Structure 1
Amino acid sequence: MPTETEWFSTWFDSPYYHLLYRDRNHQEAQGFIDALLEHLRPKPAARLLDLACGKGRHAIYLSEKGYAVTGVDLSPESIAYARQFEQPQLHFEVHDMRDGLPWGPFDLIFNLFTSFGYFAEETENVVALRSAAAALRPGGKMVIDFMNTERTVSGLVLHEEKVVDGIQFDLRRHLDKDFIVKEIRFTDGAGQEHHFEERVRALRREQFEEYFQMAGLRLAEILGDYHLSPYDELTSPRMIFVLKK
């Protein structure tokens, strides 16, 4: 793995990351999970993996549905938080998705809310997918939920400000070669200035399809939003890939 510090290893462990995004719609997220479970119909005894699980909100909800769930994430802070919710059917591990997954095999793997495409080297995306595919049972499925890059780029909001708990976040977005970059600047309560950035590769459908082929995954369908509508390149907010091993 790379020796230099990668942006996500510091930003995702920052308390300000969780502050900035604390208002994410949990009801919408649970509705999305419900829709996926109804659509995919995993068996009651299925083993599920939440890949890049953050603080575990999706994994926790999946376990409440009765499934055996493992959640993995690169952030030790997030996993430390999630572990307070562990029980016999729910486990959390600190893990880099580029590394092999020793906790499988799994019947269903979720990678949700654009938790992919962070790596500086494009080949690492394929490495991550191959690691996930190796942890799937034959016939198992994987769901990758990514932004609809075409629509996101065409409607990119270049500048916005957001105030949370008295902290004003200055957010600026731009394209840098193959990446959509979000610059995040703010001054904390002690007067200290901070600067973070998020870099997500602007992956098009065709690139994903090449990755899937190299990872030995078959694309079963592409859905376009959290209600699982058909994907339309111009209008869909998401690209939700359903893959099969």
Structure 2
Amino acid sequence: MGWYEDDDVWVGFADVMFPPHRFAEAERLVAGSPLLKVAAGDRVLDLACGPGTHVVPLARHGAVVTGVDLSEAMLVRAREACERARVRARLVRADMREHVEPGAYDLVVNMYTSFGYFTDPGDNLVVLRNVHTSLAPGGRLLVDVMGKEVFAGWVGRPQAVDVDGGTVYMRDTVLDDWTRLRSDWTWVRGDEVRRTSLHSTLYSAAELRGLFEAVGFTDVECFGDFDASPYDNHARRLIVRGTRA
């Protein structure tokens, strides 16, 4: 079983993955980012939607939103978030390697380094092909990851994050000639110790752009943040956008 299939990871480390400030940030970005701008009636897929972090603000801005996630526990939280916000969204439990709805969406978003979970590079390419098929002509895909170039600036420094009466210690290890990453997390709370390891693929801007183009996306652009700033030495993220012709 891959780490991403284990609901104990998503539930046990939810406070680290989805802190309150992340929900506030999503509200701000959907309201103001030129990359996340939606119009009333736009059909939007949030792929790997988690607890509905972006589903809720996208729906608030008039989009017809579908959230897809493999974790039932996260979908439960997403439903609760939609109910609290009094917005409607369609929430689907599915593996992103299998979820395809031809021509169903005007925009697909994949946020917070939710792309590259799979050890087999071919599986990650399948995800992009599925999205390309699921977009209507002229539809756009937006993928947000920690780009290899950005990550290289701070990798190797252990981090400690205080959450819910305890502390999570995080250490990253680059593997396989800078193609893979292992993140080891240890949660210490009193006498309780919980551990997990997350694995993902590392992409440079050129590599991810190449994957987009390989499956047929056009007008592929790379940005360094959600303000559409360039992907350069000041970049905070790697955000890649492509269009289905």
Q: Under a length normalisation based on structure 2, what TM-score does the superposition of the two structures give?
A: 0.88
2:54 is paired with a residue whose SS is: helix
Distance 1:83 1:40 in 2: 22
> Is 1:226 aligned with 2:217?
no
- After the TM superposition, which residues 1-245 of structure 1 pair with which residues of structure 2 at under 5 Å, given as runs? 5-10=1-6, 13-21=9-17, 22-36=19-33, 38-39=34-35, 42-84=38-80, 85=82, 89-102=88-101, 105-177=104-176, 178-188=179-189, 191-232=191-232, 234-245=233-244
1:143 is paired with a residue whose SS is: strand
Distance 2:156 2:55 in 1: 31
Distance 1:60 1:103 in 2: 24
Distance 1:183 1:88 in 2: 36
The superposition leaves residues 17-56 of structure 1 with CA deviations (integer Å, 9 ceiling, x where unpaired) of 11223244333222222234x4565442211111110001
Distance 1:55 1:205 in 2: 28
Q: 1:186 to 1:57 in 2, by over 3 A?
A: closer
Distance 1:238 1:98 in 2: 24
Q: 1:99 to 1:163 in 2, by over 3 A?
A: same
Extract unaligned runs of 5+ from structure 2.
none
Q: 1:53 to 1:128 in 2, by over 3 A?
A: same
Q: CA deviation at 1:172?
A: 1.2
The superposition leaves residues 132-188 of structure 1 with CA deviations (integer Å, 9 ceiling, x where unpaired) of 111100111111111122121232143122222222222111111121221011345
Question: Are the counterparts in 1 of residues 26 and 57 from structure 2 also a CA contact under 8 Å?
Answer: no
Q: 1:14 to 1:40 in 2, by over 3 A?
A: closer
Amino acid at match of 1:165: D
Amino acid at match of 1:186: W
Question: Are the counterparts in 1 of residues 59 and 87 from structure 2 also a CA contact under 8 Å?
Answer: no
Distance 2:118 2:21 in 1: 24
Amino acid at match of 1:96: D
2:227 is paired with a residue whose SS is: coil
Extract unaligned runs of 5+ from structure 1.
none
Amino acid at match of 1:31: R
The superposition leaves residues 199-235 of structure 1 with CA deviations (integer Å, 9 ceiling, x where unpaired) of 2211112221221122111243221112221221x22
Q: Under a length normalisation based on structure 1, what TM-score does the superposition of the two structures give?
A: 0.88
Distance 2:168 2:87 in 1: 40
Distance 1:211 1:203 in 2: 10
Question: Are the counterparts in 2 of residues 171 and 182 from structure 1 also a CA contact under 8 Å?
Answer: yes
The superposition leaves residues 92-114 of structure 1 with CA deviations (integer Å, 9 ceiling, x where unpaired) of 11111111324861011111121
Question: Are the counterparts in 2 of residues 142 and 243 from structure 1 also a CA contact under 8 Å?
Answer: yes
Amino acid at match of 1:33: V
Counting matched residue pairs gives 238
Q: 1:65 to 1:139 in 2, by over 3 A?
A: same
Identical amino acids, percent of aligned pairs: 27
